Amino acid sequence: MEKKKEVIRLERESVIPVLKPRLIMALADLIEHSSDRAEFLKLCKRVEYTIHAWYLLQFEDLMQLYSLFDPVNGAKKLEQQKLSPEEIDILEQNFLTYLFQIMNKSNFKIASDEEIDVARSGQYLLNLPIAVDESKLDKKLLEKYFAEHPHEDLPEFADKYVIFRRGIGIDKTTDYFFMEKVDMIIGRTWAWILRKTRIDRLFSRRSSSRRKKDPKKDDEINSEAEDDDLYVERIRIQNMELSLRSLLSKITIQEPTFDRIIVVYRRAGTSSKSDRGIYVKHFRHIPMADLEIVLPEKKNPSLTPMDWVKFLVSAIVGLVAVVGSLELPKADIWVIFAVLSTVIGYCAKTYFTFQQNMATYQNLITQSMYDKQLDSGRGTLLHLCDDVIQQEVKEVIISFFILMEQGKATLQDLDLRCEELLKEEFGVSCNFDVDDAVQKLDKLGIVARDTIGRYYCVGLKRANEIIGTTTEELVLKAKQGATSP
């Protein structure tokens, strides 16, 4: 049934998708001596406690600042503080600075125009044109931030809202998709009629000027593409060979997903009162082609101007055909009936397809609220804070383990060895952030460099001595002492 393959090229993520407990236990099992294994587990705990302490004050400042811009209770707290508008402006920019730093540490990236175009170039479950009501969104907050903190490849809507994305997954749906197949067959038949009558030129001229080159599609991937990139296949109805026989059989469609998405924006205020609330919403497993469901302040979908143009063109074509048939000496009633049936059928198809898509859209929005949305506001920030610690701990532990087991290494060799370890032991690929990992190891004081620039680590027991007993260990020891008889 498949017509052609559509493959998307995506860059590898820096995030390590292995759970920290599984990572630590798997690495500990690779250590031969039980005494070294115990020291390694102790080191992992002390690394985690220490990194958590490093970020504690920054996280507290972030949460304190957000309490002033929480859309629910932030306005009351701002009134109690009795701050001037200029002071509030400074505080909200400080909050965004902290937020973007934590996003970067959590390996979230701002979705670029190119990535958004790739996502929107296909259709999955959502088949309606969704647009943002920009009049309901503030433009000053993010515009000011990016003016003071320039970023590369910012999307065109970055002054109104920002979409952060992290991780790539796959979503598959198996169903009959009967109406979608009927719609596709009718659409292809209608397109064939338009080509034969050359009416399609009216629409092609209008759309050709809007076509963009998509550098991440399979037919444009060249030999210079990096071997480390991920290639994910899209399987959709639009690319399948359909027939009347295939209408009654189940099919499976597939779409790459953004594993995590965070959307940041502010609503526009009124002429009498400005809105200082900052919305931070967290979603999971969002299909790329259905990315519109996470957009803020969406307009209600409606028939597009192109749909209305098609309605009018269909009516005119049908009217001309009927009038032409009536002017013949012997008007064939069956020809007239066939023409009218085709026109009415196409108009009905467009209308009922829209109604079905509206129902699907409502279901997807409901699903995004209850299933896809992980959290918002303070809950999202707590997720991010934990993500930062988890990722940095995993990077440090993997780097130290490689140096401990495989000896001295340059930065490039260490990067490669860490990625090979993740691939061989856990079956995952990622773009390991070796620079950040080595920086943390150096800050902990448990690695050094030789005369030719190679990194090496101290022994396990010495590493534990350098870090020292942490506050968390003292608290746990005190609890154990209090509970013992």
pLDDT at 185 (0 to 100): 76
pLDDT score of 357 more than 70: no
Q: Is 161 helix (H, G, I), strand (E, B) or coil?
A: strand
List the 373-376 sheet strands across, edge first. 109-110, 161-175, 251-265, 279-287, 373-376
Q: Measure the CA–CA gap between 6 and 254, rounded to whole angstroms.
A: 11
pLDDT, tens only, 163-174: 999 988 888 988
Amino acid, single-letter form, for residue 4: K
Structure tokens, 482: 């209090």
pLDDT at 177 (0 to 100): 80
pLDDT at 210 (0 to 100): 43
For the question of whether the overall pTM of this predicted structure is more than 0.95, the answer is no
pLDDT score of 219 more than 50: no
Residue 298 Cα to chain centre, angstroms: 18
Give residue 372's pLDDT band: very low, low, confident or very high (50, 70, 90).
Answer: confident
- Tell me which residue has tokens 């052609």: 4
Q: Is 384 helix (H, G, I), strand (E, B) or coil?
A: helix
CB-CB contact of 342 with 190 (8 Å): no
Tell me the average pLDDT across 157-162.
94
Q: Measure the CA–CA gap between 23 and 398, rounded to whole angstroms.
A: 9
CB-CB contact of 21 with 233 (8 Å): no
CB-CB contact of 275 with 267 (8 Å): yes
Closest CA to 126 of 242, 299, 293: 293
pLDDT at 225 (0 to 100): 42
pLDDT, tens only, 12-43: 888 899 999 999 999 999 999 999 999 999 99
Structure tokens, 136: 């309901």
Amino acid, single-letter form, for residue 345: G
For the chain, how big is the Rg over CA atoms in Å?
A: 29
Tell me the average pLDDT across 402-416.
95
Rounded (10°) CA dihedral 235, 240, 243, 249: -20
Give residue 439's pLDDT band: very low, low, confident or very high (50, 70, 90).
Answer: very high
Handedness of CA 217, 222, 226, 232 (dihedral sign): positive
Residues near 390 by Cβ (< 8 Å), separated by ≥ 6?
A: 20
Question: What is the average pLDDT score of the chain?
Answer: 82
pLDDT, tens only, 53-84: 999 988 999 999 999 999 989 989 998 988 99
CATH number, domain 7-29+382-474: 1.10.10
Which residue spans of the chain are classified as CATH 1.10.10?
Answer: 7-29+382-474
